[in-house]
Amino acid sequence: MNPASKFYGWGLPVDISTHGPEIDRLIHVLHVFMFLLFAGWFVFLVLALVRFRKRPGHAAVYKEQHFKTPTYVEVGVALFEIVLLFAFSIPLFYRIRNIPFPQQDALQVRVVAEQFAWNFHYPGSDGIFGQTKPSLMSPSNPVGLDRNSPNAADDITTINQLHVPVNRPVSVELASKDVIHSFAIPVLRVKQDVIPGTPSRVWFQAKQTGNFEIACAQLCGLGHYRMRGFIMIKTEDEYNNWLAKMTPVKPAPPAPAVTQGAT
Amino acid sequence: MSTAVIRYIDKPHPVTGVTNAKLGTWCFLASEVMLFGALFSAYVLLRTGVSEWPHGSQFLNVPLATLNTLILITSSVTMVMSWASLMLKQFGKYRLYLAITILLALAFLVVKGFEYGHKFEHHHFPSTNTFYAIYFTLTGLHGLHVIGGVVVNAYFLFFGKRMWETHPEQFAGRIECAGLYWHFVDLVWIFLFPVLYLL
Amino acid sequence: MKEHSSHSHSASLPFWRKYIFSLDHKVIGVQYAVTGLLFLLFGFTLIMLIRWQLAYPGQPLPVIGHLFSEKMMVGGIMLPEFYNQLGAMHGTIMVFLGVVPLAVGGFGNYLVPLQIGAPDMAFPKLNMMSYWVYFMGGLIMLASFFLPEGAAQSGWTSYPPLANLASSGQTFWLLGMVFLITSSLLGSVNFIVTIAQLRADGLSFFRLPFFVWAQFITSFLLLLAFPPLEAAGVLQLMDRLAGTSFFMPSGLVVAGEQLAVSGGGNPVLWQHLFWFLAHPEVYVLILPAMGIVAEILACNTRKPIYGYRSMVYSVVAIGFLSFVVWAHHMFLTGMGTKMSGFFQITTMMISVPSVIILTALALSLWGGSIRFNTPMLFAIAFLPMFGIGGLTGLPLGLAASDVHLHDTYYVIGHFHYVVAPGTIFALFAGVYHWFPKVTGRKMSEVLGKIHFFFSLIFINGVFMPMFLMGLAGVSRRLYDPTQYAHAGSTQPLNVFVSICAWLLALAQIPFVLNFFGSLIFGKKVDRNPWEATTLEWAAPSPPPHGNFDEVPAVYRGPYEYSVPGQARDFWPQHMAKEN
C-alpha cells in the first residue's frame, strides 16, 4: 500500500484502466475549455470595469449597442457542447456501460455491499455462481451462499479484498443487502451506485499490478467513511495461485477462510 | 389611504379575465395535479417494476366503490346547483344544495370508512404489500382532500350569510372556487377508481 | 372591501397585529428576510463545526467542544452520528430555510408589490400564513436536534432505504419538509396572482423589472416542482410510520437480520421524485439572485441592461427546461445509455439560456459609468463566481466525466460556487441595495467594502480547493477523510479550506455590525438614494401601509438610464413627462 503518494495527490490520481484515459482526456479537454472561456470572459470583465468606471467627464451611453462577438462565442460554445456530447460523452458512456467483449472472456465477480463492507463472490473454477439467498446471510456467510446448490461448491467469497488479474477484463455484478452504496475505484475510474433490489454491472480492465483502494461514494450510514475495500491487481500467475489457495478442498461447509481487513 | 385597494377581488381582470381568487385556485389546482400526478407515476413505476400485481377487483370492493363514484358525481352536480342558485340570487336554495353536497361528501367518507374497516378486519394493512400500500395512500390522501372540502363548504354554509349580504359578488366567486376544488376532488376519484379497483 | 377595511385600520392596530401577525407584505418580507438570515447563520455554524472534524479528524474541538451533549461529542470529539446530522441539516437549512426564504420570501415579498406598483400581495392573509407555516417548519427542523437520537442524518437528499431505516430525526425532517413545501406553495400562488393581476396601469410584461420576471418564473417552479417532493415525502412517511415498502425492495438484510417488511418497492423512485423537485430548486435559488444582480447592475452602470428581451426569453426557457434535466443527478444509478443520453442533451441545452443571461449581464457593463458601491461590488462578483459554478457543471453534466467526479468534492465545489459566492453574494448585494428603502437609512460603505473584499477572498479559499479534492476522487460526506489514502493525500487542502471557512465567518462580523449599526446610525436618505428608475423608489422610505402616496402608472421600460435629451441620467418608470 505504501507509498500511496505515488498514486494519489491533488488532482486526478494515477490511471491504470483501459477505459480510464478516455475519461481523463474528456476531463482535460473540458477543463482547458472552461479555463479558456473563463479567462477570456474575465479579461473582458476587468477591461469593462476599468474602462467604464465612473469618473469626471465620462458618461454612460444609452444607445443599445449590438455586439456580434458574444453571439458568435455563444454559438461556438453551443457547437462545442454538441461536439462534447456526441463525440465524447455519449459514445464514451456507452462504451463504459456496455461490455465490449464476450462475457465468457471476462472474469466474473459479484459484489454484495453491506453496511460497511464489500463482500466479493467468485464463481470458482467452474465459472458459474452458486445460488445465494438473503435468508442465509450471516457474518460467516456474508453473501448468503447456499453451499448445497449446484455450482456452489467451488465458489470463493472474500471480504473487502477484490483480487483480479491484470490485463484481463473483469465484469462486476453489484448488489446491496441493505442501503444504497456506490462502488468506486478512483484509479480505475470506476464508479457505480449499488442499489438494493436492482443489480447493476460494471466492467474494467487493469493495465498495471498493485494494491489500490475501493471507496464507497454514497452516504450509507455511520460507517460510510470507513467502508474501505482493496483491489489487488495481480499477474495472471499470482492470481491463479491465489485462486488455487482459496478454492475449498471439499465441496461442503464450513465456509472458506475469510480474509479480513487491510494488508 | 385610498391607494391601499387590492384590485380584482370581485371583478375579473380585463386581460386575464379572472378574479384574483379564481386565478389562485387554478394555480393551486395545478400544483395538486402535480401532487397526484407524481403519486400516479409512482404507482406506474412500482407496478411495472414487479412481475405480478394483484388484480384490484379481486381484493377491493367494486360495488361499494361504484356507489362512492356515483355519490361524488352527484355531489359535484349539487355543488354546481348551489353556485347557480347564488347567481340567481336564491340564497335559500344555495344553502340547500350546499348542505346536500356536504352530506354526500360525508356519505362518501362513511362508505370509505366501511371499506377500510373491512380491510383491517381481514388484516389487510398498508404494510401488507405494495398494492395495499398504494391503495391506502392514494385513497387516504384523497379522503383528506374530501375532508378539506367538507370543512370549506361547511364554513360557507354556516358563516356565509354575512358576506353574501355585504359582498355578494365576492361571495359567489368564493363558492365558484370551492366548486372548482370540489370538482377536482371528484376528478381525482374518477381516476383512482379504475386505476385501483378495475385495472 | 374586506381587505381594504383592515388596511385603513392598520395605523391603530395593536403591536402584535402590526409587526408579528401582520398582513402587510413589507412586514412579512422583513420577517422572512430576518428569519432567513438567522437560518443562514445557523447553517453556516453547523458547517464550521464540520470543518473542524474534517481538518483535524478525531481531535477534540477546543473551547466549545465540551458544551455539546455526549450524544454529539465525546470529550469534544465529534461522533459520526453528529457529523451526519450536521451534514444533512446544513444542506436542508441552507436551501429550504435560508436561501429560498430570503430570496423569495424576503426579497420577493418586499419588492414584488412595490416594483409592480401594487398596494400589497393579492392575498395578504395567505401571505401571513405562508410565513408562519415556514416558521413552524423551521421550528420542527430545529427541534429535531433535541430528539434522543438527534436530527436527520441521511443527507439533505434523504435517500432511502437509509433514510427509511434512520432514527426519528428523519420523521421530523419529513414533517418539517411538508410544512416548508406547503408554505412555498401558498407563497408561489400568491406571487403568480399578484404579478399577473396587480401590475400598475401601463406596466406591461415587457416593462417589468427583470427581478419581477425572475420571481414570476421562480414561483412557477415552486408551484409545480414541489408537489412531487411532497408526494415523495408522504410515501416516505408511510414507509416509516405505516410500515409500507414504497422504497424498500424485497430481501433486505440489515445488520445480519432480514428486514420484516413486505418489500416490492424501489429506492430509485425516491430519487426521481426528489430530483424532479431538487433540480428546479437550483433555479429557484439562482433566478432571484440573477434578478437582484440585473437591478443593481442597471442602476450602477447608469444604462439599460443589455438584451433585456433575450434575458426574459432565457429565463422562461430555463423555467421550462429545468423540468426535464433532473436525472442528470442519477447517471450512476444504472440507467440506460439512451436515457442518460437524453438527460445529457437537455442538460447541455439548459446551459445555453444560462450563458445568455450571464453574457447579457456582463455586456451591460460595456458603455456604462460604473459606480463601485458595496451592492455593486457584490453584484459584479456574482458574475465570475456564478460563471465558475456554471462551467464546473459541465464535467458533471456529461455522464462520462461524471463517472469519476460523481459524489465527490467536485460536486460540492460546483454547487457551492453557484449558491454561496453566487446566490448569497447577490443576496448581500440586495441587502445593501434595498436597505435604504426598508429603513430610510444607508448602510456604511466602509464596513460594506471590508465585508465584501474579505468575503470574496475567503469564500474562494473555501471552495476552489474542493475541485482538486474532487478530481482526486475524494467522496462526499466522509466523517474522517484520512481513512482513505486517496483522500488523505488531500488533507492539507482540507486544513486550508477549514481555516478559510472560519476566516469567512469572521469576515461576516462587519456585516452584522453594519446591519444593526446602520439601523440607528446610518445616514438618513430620501426615497431614491441610488437615483434608480423602478417603481419601488417612487414610494417613501420606508413605504407606509399601502405603499404609494398616489396610485402609480407606468410610462416606460424599467431601465431608462442616461436617456439622451433628458436633464437627469435616470427616467423613472412612473414619470409621465420628462424630468
- How would you classify the pairing of strands C253-254 and C257-258? antiparallel
Structure confidence at residue C551 as a pLDDT band (50, 70, 90): confident
Structure confidence at residue C11 as a pLDDT band (50, 70, 90): low
Q: pLDDT value at position B86?
A: 94
Q: Which residues does C58 contact at the CB level (< 8 Å), separation at least 6?
A: C77, C480
Cβ–Cβ below 8 Å for C403 and A219: no
Q: pLDDT value at position A262?
A: 39
Q: pLDDT value at position C579?
A: 55
Q: A34, C392 in Cβ contact below 8 A?
A: yes
Nearest CA in chain B to C235: B137
Cβ–Cβ below 8 Å for C262 and B1: no
DSSP state of C570: B
pLDDT at C133 over 80: yes
Interface probe with A: pick from C50, C355, C404, most Cβ of A within 10 Å: C404
- Write the DSSP assignment of chain A as a string of letters: ---GGGT-BSBSPP--BSSHHHHHHHHHHHHHHHHHHHHHHHHHHHHHHHHTB--TT-----S----SHHHHHHHHHHHHHHHIIIIIIHHHHHHHHS-SS-GGGSEEEEEEEETTEEEEEE-TTTT-PPPB-GGG-BTTBTT-B-TTSTT-TT-EEEESEEEEETTS-EEEEEEESSS-EEEEEGGGTEEEEEBTTB-EEEEE-BSS-EEEEEEE-S--STTGGG--EEEEEE-HHHHHHHHHHHS-SSSSSSPPPPP-S--
> All domains of chain C, ordered by start, with CATH?
25-246+265-538 (1.20.210.10)
- Write the DSSP assignment of A150-216 as a string of letters: TT-TT-EEEESEEEEETTS-EEEEEEESSS-EEEEEGGGTEEEEEBTTB-EEEEE-BSS-EEEEEEE
Cβ–Cβ below 8 Å for C2 and B167: yes
Q: Is residue C408 helix, strand or coil?
A: strand
Q: pLDDT value at position C260?
A: 87
End-to-end, the C-alpha distance of chain A in Å comes to 7
Q: Does C333 touch chain B (CB under 8 A)?
A: no
Which residue carries 335559500 as its cell? B92
Q: Which residues does C287 contact at the CB level (< 8 Å), separation at least 6?
A: C214, C215, C217, C218, C221, C315, C318
Cβ–Cβ below 8 Å for C268 and A190: no
Q: Cα angle vertex A134, ends A130, A135, to 5°?
A: 105
Beta strands in chain B (DSSP E): none
Q: Which of C192, C198, C225 comes nearest B27 by C-beta?
A: C192
Cβ–Cβ below 8 Å for B38 and C273: yes
Which residue carries 428523519 as its cell? C170
With a cut of 0.85, is the ipTM above it?
yes
Contacting partners of chain A (3+ CB pairs under 8 A): C
Which helix (H) or strand (E) segment is C468 a member of? helix C445-471
Q: Which residues does C358 contact at the CB level (< 8 Å), separation at least 6?
A: C383, C386, C387, C390
Q: C488, A4 in Cβ contact below 8 A?
A: yes
| Residue C85, all three cell numbers | 446530522
pLDDT at B106 over 90: yes
Closest chain A C-alpha to C27 CA, distance in angstroms? 36
Q: What whole-number distance in Å separates Cα of residue B180 and Cα of residue A120?
A: 58
Q: pLDDT value at position B142?
A: 97
CA dihedral B188, B194, B196, B199 (to 10 degrees): -150
Give the mean model confidence (pLDDT) for residues C436-447: 96
Q: What whole-number distance in Å separates Cα of residue C144 and Cα of residue C88?
A: 12
Contacts of B46 in chain C (CB under 8 A): 246, 264-266, 269
| More confident call, A127 vs C362 | C362
Contacts of B127 in chain C (CB under 8 A): 242-245, 261-262
Cβ–Cβ below 8 Å for C473 and A13: yes
CA-closest candidate to residue A127, choices A148, A97, A156: A156
Structure confidence at residue C458 as a pLDDT band (50, 70, 90): very high
Cα A122 from chain centre = 19
pLDDT at C2 over 80: no
| More confident call, B51 vs C524 | C524
Cβ–Cβ below 8 Å for A11 and C468: yes
Nearest CA in chain C to A133: C251
Instruction: Assign domain A103-246 one CATH number from 2.60.40.420, 1.20.120.140, 3.90.79.10, 3.40.50.720.
Output: 2.60.40.420
Contacting partners of chain B (3+ CB pairs under 8 A): C
Cβ–Cβ below 8 Å for C399 and A65: no
* Domain locations in chain A as residue ranges: 20-97, 103-246
Beta bridge partners of A200: A174
Contacts of C481 in chain A (CB under 8 A): 225
| Residue B12, all three cell numbers | 375579473
Q: C460, C498 in Cβ contact below 8 A?
A: no
pLDDT at B174 over 60: yes
CA distances C265 to B166, B197, C167, C332, C427, Å, are: 54, 20, 20, 19, 41
Q: Which of B8, B50, B133 comes nearest C244 by C-beta?
A: B133
Q: Which of A138, A144, A189 comes nearest C403 by C-beta?
A: A189
Structure confidence at residue A4 as a pLDDT band (50, 70, 90): low
Contacts of C403 in chain A (CB under 8 A): 23, 93, 96, 189-191
CA-closest candidate to residue C408, choices C326, C449, C344, C465: C465
Amino acid at C433: H
Q: C177, C96 in Cβ contact below 8 A?
A: yes
Cα C344 from chain centre = 25
Q: Which of B16, B36, B163 comes nearest C197 by C-beta?
A: B16
Q: Cα angle vertex C155, ends C152, C157, to 5°?
A: 110
Q: Does C265 touch chain B (CB under 8 A)?
A: yes
Residue A36 CB burial class (10 angstroms; 0-12, 13-18, ≥19): exposed
Express each pLDDT in A33-69 by its tens digit: 999 999 999 999 999 999 999 999 888 988 766 778 8
Structure confidence at residue B56 as a pLDDT band (50, 70, 90): confident
Q: Does C244 touch chain B (CB under 8 A)?
A: yes
Q: Does C119 touch chain B (CB under 8 A)?
A: yes
Nearest CA in chain C to B27: C189
Number of H helices, E strands in chain C: 22, 4
Cβ–Cβ below 8 Å for C3 and B127: no
Q: pLDDT value at position C32?
A: 97
Contacts of C544 in chain B (CB under 8 A): 1
Express each pLDDT in C389-405 by its tens digit: 999 999 999 999 999 99
Q: Is residue C441 helix, strand or coil?
A: strand
- How would you classify the pairing of strands A200-204 and A170-176? antiparallel
Q: Does C269 touch chain A (CB under 8 A)?
A: no
Q: What whole-number distance in Å separates Cα of residue C216 and Cα of residue C203?
A: 15
Q: C55, C49 in Cβ contact below 8 A?
A: no
Q: Is residue C78 helix, strand or coil?
A: strand
Contacts of C405 in chain A (CB under 8 A): 27
Express each pLDDT in A141-154 by its tens digit: 899 999 888 888 88
> All domains of chain B, ordered by start, with CATH?
18-47+61-198 (1.20.120.80)
| Helices C491-507 and C509-521: angle between axes, nearest 10 degrees | 10
Give the mean model confidence (pLDDT) for residues C566-573: 90
Mean pLDDT of chain A: 88
Q: Does C241 touch chain B (CB under 8 A)?
A: no
| More confident call, A212 vs A254 | A212
Backbone angles phi, psi at C299, to 5 degrees: -65, -40
Express each pLDDT in A64-109 by its tens digit: 667 788 888 889 989 999 999 999 999 999 988 888 777 778 899 9
Cβ–Cβ below 8 Å for A37 and C395: no
| Residue C258, all three cell numbers | 432480514
Residue A145 exposure: Cα atoms within 13 Å on the Cβ side:
33
Nearest CA in chain B to C552: B3
Nearest CA in chain A to C365: A48
Q: Which residues does C493 contact at the CB level (< 8 Å), separation at least 6?
A: A10, C465, C468, C469
Structure confidence at residue A263 as a pLDDT band (50, 70, 90): very low
pLDDT at B60 over 70: yes
Nearest CA in chain A to C486: A8
- Write the DSSP assignment of C328-360 as a string of letters: GG-GGG---HHHHHHHHHHHHHHHHHHHHHHHH
Residue C380 CB burial class (10 angstroms; 0-12, 13-18, ≥19): buried
The answer for C 404-433 residues in CB contact with A (under 8 A) is: 404-408
CA-closest candidate to residue C252, choices C243, C235, C265: C265
Cβ–Cβ below 8 Å for A97 and C162: no
Q: Which of A44, A65, A98 comes nearest C367 by C-beta?
A: A65
Q: Is residue C553 helix, strand or coil?
A: strand
Q: What whole-number distance in Å separates Cα of residue B192 and Cα of residue B142?
A: 9
Cis? peptide before C542, omega within 30° of 0: yes
Give the mean model confidence (pLDDT) for residues C17-39: 93
Q: Does C196 touch chain B (CB under 8 A)?
A: yes
Q: C120, B8 in Cβ contact below 8 A?
A: no
Tally B–C CB contacts below 8 A: 157
Q: What is the largest CA-CA distance in chain B?
A: 68
Rg over alpha carbons for chain B, rounded to the nearest Å, is: 20
Nearest CA in chain C to B26: C189
Q: C321, C346 in Cβ contact below 8 A?
A: yes
Beta bridge partners of C254: C257
Nearest CA in chain B to C221: B31
